[in-house]
Amino acid sequence: MARILKYLTVTINVMCVVVLAFVLWFVWQRYTKPGQEFSLFPTHEKLHAGAKLDTGLSLLASDRPTLFVALNKGCHYCAASSAFYEKVSQYNKVAKVVALFPNTVPDASGYVQKLNLKTDAMAVADYSKMGVLGTPTTILADPRGKILGVWNGLLDHTVQTEVLKRLGASDEEAYVPALADTVALASIAKPVTEDSYTYAQVKEMQALHKAFTLVDVRDRSQYGNGHLPGAINIPLDEFEVRGPHEIKKDSLLIVDCSYCSECEVKQRSSGLPSLCTMSAQLIDKYGFSNLALVYDERTGARSLSAENEAAHGGHSGGQ
Amino acid sequence: MRKLKVLVSAWLLLWACCLYGDTTSVPYTSEVVIRDMLIKKVTPVFPPEALASVRHAALIEAHIVMNVSGDVVDATILESPDPSVNKAVLQALWQWKFKPFTGVSKDFKLAGKLTFYCIVDGKSGRIVNPDEVGIVELDGREPAVSKEKAR
């Protein structure tokens, strides 16, 4: 019996050591080794400031620095960066702007135009060889191909300012304001949406039998927990495919994205766009130009009650 | 003392599992990208028993995970009109094949959603991909515009 207990003690000790070693190895792999996995905001050993850009492209023959913008069709963060690209395009006399695509895209020029990016050239590149593992990736290189800076994903206002400064913009020109308040946010969304409605206005339009479609772009679970009466659920990540089949493009589309001013500010400060900002920008790009958002924080207005559903005619928008 | 050791090792093991589980979060991409990568597509067969649940048209939304070779390693149904449709769609999705990934680690996985529509015409039905249909009037919904015109 004593022998068995001894073996058991030794086994437990060995187990402790093995598990501890595994945990240490795992922590080292996760936090110290350069990222090799694909992610939306990847880091790669080939792409860092000071490295030489080896793209196999003869695009660097210029006396100007080159700003490469690695894009991809269907990349939501590329679309959400269009305001920044528009600003970048103003400095194409200082730096050459090259849009990269991972494969031959027949309508690449149309896509670049949609993003408001004026380019000096467009090229096809092997992203895996370049070290670009996610889009958009913005790379600034000097005329010799030495990388001056790499920025991944959707850039927040401080990084946008930094990129513009490196392109030669003055401090004043490069300043991109942080969206510190909802007024600033609204000014971004307004050019795309033109109109916005409060919940009360939507309700009034329903009562007046105005023709429109009310779409809730939140997740299924959020929609299931409560939604505006008459709203149909098309989560934003499904909109690109489902929208054209389920909504007529010429009808007024009112989008409920669960607007919340505090959340907007918090989300923007993290450098990522909010659901409302993404909705305003992406749905317009999908061809639904007759678009408005519900800017209302009255979450109590969302109800799943059978009475509301029945009173507002099932799932359709206008009544 | 022995109990303490067992507890410590169990706690460490649990922590390790939690850490491992955390890294298995799979990057996600849009349906347009996923469908561009498709090399083998098997169309789901509409099960006759679903006729009772679909009047004209219904939505099917699936979530899939593919591995580095482009094989489907996980598939779930997020929305469908009938359990028999779930089975038919999953059976087809397990046979789908995508372009293999290059330049990524062998453990790489990619997730995304896939949309299908059930279309019922009289006494027969079919499951179609979005590019095979135009405007779909889903059961329980009526386009606002046509509603106003009808008034």
Q: If pLDDT is split at 50, 70 and 90, which confidence band does B75 have?
A: very high
Looking at the fold, whether A262 and A234 belong to one and the same domain comes out as yes
Looking at the fold, whether A205 and A251 belong to one and the same domain comes out as yes
Above pLDDT 90, what percent of chain A? 1
Span B106-125, average pLDDT: 89
Span A179-204, average pLDDT: 54
Looking at the fold, whether A124 and A204 belong to one and the same domain comes out as no
Q: Is it the case that residue A209 has pLDDT exceeding 50?
A: yes
- Rounded-to-10 torsion of CA A89, A90, A94, A95: -10
The helix/strand/coil state of A2 is helix
Comparing A18-32, A39-53, A119-133, B117-131, which segment has the lowest mean pLDDT? A39-53
B34 or A132, greater pLDDT: B34
Query: What is residue B44's predicted lDDT score, i.e. its pLDDT?
Result: 94
Rounded to whole angstroms, the Cα distance separating A229 from A300 reads: 12
Looking at the fold, whether A233 and A298 belong to one and the same domain comes out as yes
Query: What is residue A180's predicted lDDT score, i.e. its pLDDT?
Result: 35
Residue A30 lies in a domain: no
Contact A248 B145 (CB under 8 A): yes
Closest by Cβ to A251, choosing from B31, B79, B145:
B145
Instruction: Provide the b/e sequence for A239-270 (b: ≥16 CB within 10 Å).
Output: bbbbbbbbbbeebbbbbbbbbbeeebbebbee
Query: What is residue A35's predicted lDDT score, i.e. its pLDDT?
Result: 34
Is the pTM for the entire model greater than 0.90? no
Span A189-209, average pLDDT: 69
Contact B27 A8 (CB under 8 A): no
Looking at the fold, whether A215 and A254 belong to one and the same domain comes out as yes
Query: What is residue A195's predicted lDDT score, i.e. its pLDDT?
Result: 66
Contact between A23 and B12 under an 8 Å Cβ cutoff? The reply is yes
Domain, as residue range, for A89: 66-174
Looking at the fold, whether A230 and A292 belong to one and the same domain comes out as yes
A274 or A202, greater pLDDT: A202
Residue A279 lies in a domain: yes
Query: What is residue B144's predicted lDDT score, i.e. its pLDDT?
Result: 38
Looking at the fold, whether A115 and A97 belong to one and the same domain comes out as yes
Domain termination site, one of A133, A157, A174: A174
Instruction: Region of A62 please: left (phi>0), alpha (psi -120 to 50) or beta.
Output: beta
A310 or A134, greater pLDDT: A134
Say how many domains are in chain A.
2
Rounded to whole angstroms, the Cα distance separating A151 from A15 reads: 43
pLDDT in tens, A30-83: 655 433 332 223 334 566 777 777 545 545 556 777 888 888 876 777 777 777
Contact between A95 and A67 under an 8 Å Cβ cutoff? The reply is yes
Asked if B10 is an interface residue toward chain A (Cβ–Cβ < 8 A), one would say no
| Alpha-carbon distance A71 to nearest alpha carbon in chain B (angstroms) | 13
Q: Check which CATH number belongs to the domain holding A138 and give it.
A: 3.40.30.10
Query: What is residue A153's predicted lDDT score, i.e. its pLDDT?
Result: 73
Looking at the fold, whether A186 and A300 belong to one and the same domain comes out as yes
Identity of the residue numbered B48: P
Highest mean pLDDT range out of A11-20, A131-140, A221-230, B125-134?
Answer: B125-134
Q: Is it the case that residue B102 has pLDDT exceeding 80?
A: no
Contact A26 B16 (CB under 8 A): yes
Residue A42 lies in a domain: no
pLDDT in tens, A212-234: 888 988 888 888 888 888 889 99
Query: What is residue A172's predicted lDDT score, i.e. its pLDDT?
Result: 63
Above pLDDT 70, what percent of chain B? 76
Say which residues have a Cβ less than 8 Å from residue A120's Cβ, sequence separation at least 6. Answer: A92, A96, A97, A98
Comparing A10-24, A103-117, B121-135, which segment has the lowest mean pLDDT? A103-117
Contact A22 B79 (CB under 8 A): no
Helix locations, A175-290, DSSP H? 182-193, 199-207, 220-224, 236-246, 261-269, 275-285
Residue A114 lies in a domain: yes
Query: What is residue A185's predicted lDDT score, i.e. its pLDDT?
Result: 40
Looking at the fold, whether A161 and A187 belong to one and the same domain comes out as no
Burial of residue B139 (number of CB atoms within 10 Å: 0-12, 13-18, 19+): middle
Q: Is it the case that residue A88 has pLDDT exceeding 60?
A: yes
Closest by Cβ to A240, choosing from B9, B31, B151:
B31
Residue A2 lies in a domain: no
Looking at the fold, whether A304 and A186 belong to one and the same domain comes out as yes
Domain termination site, one of A134, A157, A174: A174
What integer best gives the mean pLDDT of chain A? 71
Comparing A42-51, A90-99, B111-120, B139-148, which segment has the lowest mean pLDDT? B139-148
Closest by Cβ to B102, choosing from A40, A128, A209:
A128
A210 vs B contacts (CB less than 8 Å): 148
Domain termination site, one of A174, A197, A214: A174
pLDDT in tens, B21-70: 444 467 778 888 889 889 999 999 999 999 998 999 999 999 999 998 99
Looking at the fold, whether A200 and A235 belong to one and the same domain comes out as yes
A19 vs B contacts (CB less than 8 Å): 9, 12-13, 16
Above pLDDT 90, what percent of chain B? 48
Span A100-117, average pLDDT: 71
A62 or B86, greater pLDDT: B86
Q: Is it the case that residue A311 has pLDDT exceeding 70?
A: no
Query: What is residue A40's predicted lDDT score, i.e. its pLDDT?
Result: 28
Query: What is residue A192's predicted lDDT score, i.e. its pLDDT?
Result: 37
Contact B144 A242 (CB under 8 A): no
Q: HEC states along A3-63?
A: HHHHHHHHHHHHHHHHHHHHHHHHHHHHHCCCCCCCCCCCCECCECCCCECCCCCCCCCCC
Looking at the fold, whether A195 and A263 belong to one and the same domain comes out as yes
Contact between A100 and A68 under an 8 Å Cβ cutoff? The reply is yes
pLDDT in tens, A231-270: 899 998 898 899 989 988 888 888 888 776 666 666 666 5
Rounded to whole angstroms, the Cα distance separating B85 from B52 reads: 12
Rounded to whole angstroms, the Cα distance separating B141 from B151 reads: 17
CATH number of the B26-150 domain: 3.30.2420.10
Q: Check which CATH number belongs to the domain holding A207 and give it.
A: 3.40.250.10
Q: How far, in Å, are A166, A191, A225, B58, B91 from residue B119 at the CA level?
A: 55, 38, 28, 7, 19
Q: Is it the case that residue B73 has pLDDT exceeding 80?
A: yes
Highest mean pLDDT range out of A221-235, A266-280, B129-143?
Answer: A221-235
* Look-up of token digits 């958009």: A136
Query: What is residue A159's predicted lDDT score, i.e. its pLDDT?
Result: 75
**ipTM attached to this prediction:** 0.79
Residue A50 lies in a domain: no
Contact A30 B23 (CB under 8 A): yes
